Amino acid sequence: MKKVGFVILTWNSERYIRNCLRSILSIDETVFQNTVIVIDNGSEDGTVECIRSECKGFARSAHRYEFVTLDRNYGTTRSRNIGLKKLLEVSPDTQYVCILDSDTEISADALKTLTDVLDKDTLVGIVGPRMHNATGVYQVSGRNFSTVTEKFCKVIPIKQVKEYGERREKIIPAQGTGVRSVGYLMSACWVVRRTVIDEIGPLDEKIFYAPEDLEYCIRCWKAGYKVAYCYDADILHHWQRLSRKKLISRHNYEHIKGLIHVFLKYKYCFSAGKLWRSIEKQLGPEEVPQGY
């Protein structure tokens, strides 16, 4: 039996959290022993009531469940770290940690495929699935390391410039099978080897909202572990895209602050080539993405 710990962060997630939790409840208890930690970031809608109503389903199952409510929105890193700490307290023998957004729905097949990747390749520290929205559109969820060049090009309202920025972001083909190394994975769905968390520590709380996923994946690579995208695991992600709803917003302000923090921490800015070459020297050229 595989022991998986889920850490789910909610914030005004009334529309999605019920289906997210029910997707976990549907996972076969004879194959996976799940511990689910939900942390609410001070929601002001009906999220808390939805979560509490779903407690009854967990009470009737073998899956363990804990719910933590916070008095306000502490961002993604501090809140998820509270969840990670709680998870490892109540389930110290957890083998795999699944960081999951509240607007996702996961299946037993996807979870098995992702944990199998970690079992088969001990160099993989974090693995993530393909993600599509309700209309079947797939996200670019496995990406190259972000740079100022790519981010700047993507906001310029000129088609050719935007397309150039998007090409710099993509590091693997849109379609494929099997497992491919990527720079980082969007943290809407990660499965992380427990021992990797023990080794590299929690999320960087100097980042409030984003790009906590970029920073953690860089840290994973630098510790000698790969970050992998699995074409054969597929989950639903309703993809709220909070940072794109308004050009000027706290989300975008915090995202820019977070990016600056990452660029200063890892000493790169316009190109991630030097960073990749140091990783390639450590792991070998066959283990890193080609064409970075």
CATH number for the domain spanning 144: value is 3.90.550.10
Q: Does residue 9 belong to any structural domain of this protein?
A: yes
pLDDT digits (tens, 9 = 90+) for 49-82: 999 998 888 888 889 999 999 999 999 999 999 9
d(CA 86, CA 66) in angstroms, rounded, equals 8
- The phi, psi pair for 180, rounded to 5°, reads -130, 140
Q: Does residue 291 belong to any structural domain of this protein?
A: no
Q: Does residue 292 belong to any structural domain of this protein?
A: no
What is the pLDDT averaged over residues 133-156? 93
Q: Where in the sequence is the domain holding 106, given as residue range(s)?
A: 2-283
pLDDT at 247 over 70: no
> What share of the chain in percent tops pLDDT 90?
87
HSE-CB at 55 with a 13 A cutoff on CA atoms is 11
Q: Does residue 288 belong to any structural domain of this protein?
A: no
The residues, ordered by sequence, that sit 6+ positions from 117 with a Cβ below 8 Å of its Cβ are 124, 127, 179, 191, 228, 230
Q: What confidence category does residue 243 fall into, taking pLDDT thresholds of 50, 70 and 90?
A: very low
Q: Does residue 290 belong to any structural domain of this protein?
A: no
Q: Does residue 289 belong to any structural domain of this protein?
A: no
What is the pLDDT averaged over residues 168-188? 95
Give the Cβ contact number of residue 195 at 10 Å: 13
Give the Cβ contact number of residue 143 at 10 Å: 23
d(CA 33, CA 36) in angstroms, rounded, equals 10
* 65: nearest Cα among 39, 41, 30, 28: 39
The tally of domains found in the chain comes to 1
Q: Does residue 59 belong to any structural domain of this protein?
A: yes
pLDDT at 256 over 70: yes
Q: Does residue 11 belong to any structural domain of this protein?
A: yes
